[in-house]
Amino acid sequence: MDSDGQHCPEEIPKLIKPIMNKQADMVIGSRYLGQCNYKIPLHTRVGEYFIDFFLWLLFGKNVKNNQSGFRAFNKRSLEVFNDLIYNKFGLCTEILFKAALNNLKIKEIPITVNPRKYGTSYVQLVKIFSSILSCILIYGLKKFRILELLPKLILRRVGNRIIK
């Protein structure tokens, strides 16, 4: 859960219930399915729609509140996340795309989200946009196994001296 006080710790049992009942490998608390007690900025809604569109297009998964930090995972799914690339702005997106790439069952549940109680948001739209866009590109290439082919194609061309 986020450290800014927006999430209710009392909702943790609700968050882990689908995991305990073997209905999901990963559960995401959603302000869109539950109650959001503040106005969501336009850039956040547009960004989440953009991510949701590509998540659906590439993997057939639909997660509206894809940047929510209120998440739970089963033990098996944790092995999937050993080699994450992003550690700041693209982390929530990468976890979601990597889970989808590895066919984990993802479930979104309703939660209550309150206005920030502590801290300050350090959102930098250009950095967020570039990291999320690169994450979508990388996992799109992984989905179609293009990243696996690139070194072979490059080596083949080097061996045949076709590189310009």
Per DSSP, helices labelled H in 21-163 are 42-59, 75-78, 91-101, 125-143, 146-159
CB burial string 86-101: b at 16+ within 10 A, e below: beebbbbbbbbbbbbe
- Give the 3-state secondary structure of residue 81: helix
Instruction: Give the phi and the psi of residue 11 in degrees, each rounded to 5.
Output: -90, 0
User: What tens-digit pLDDT sequence spans the chain (164 residues)?
Assistant: 988 899 999 999 999 999 999 999 999 999 999 999 999 999 999 999 999 999 999 999 999 999 999 999 999 899 999 999 998 889 999 999 999 999 999 999 999 999 988 888 777 889 999 999 999 999 999 999 887 877 766 655 544 444 43
pTM of the model: 0.88
CA-to-CA distance for 62 and 60, rounded, in angstroms? 7
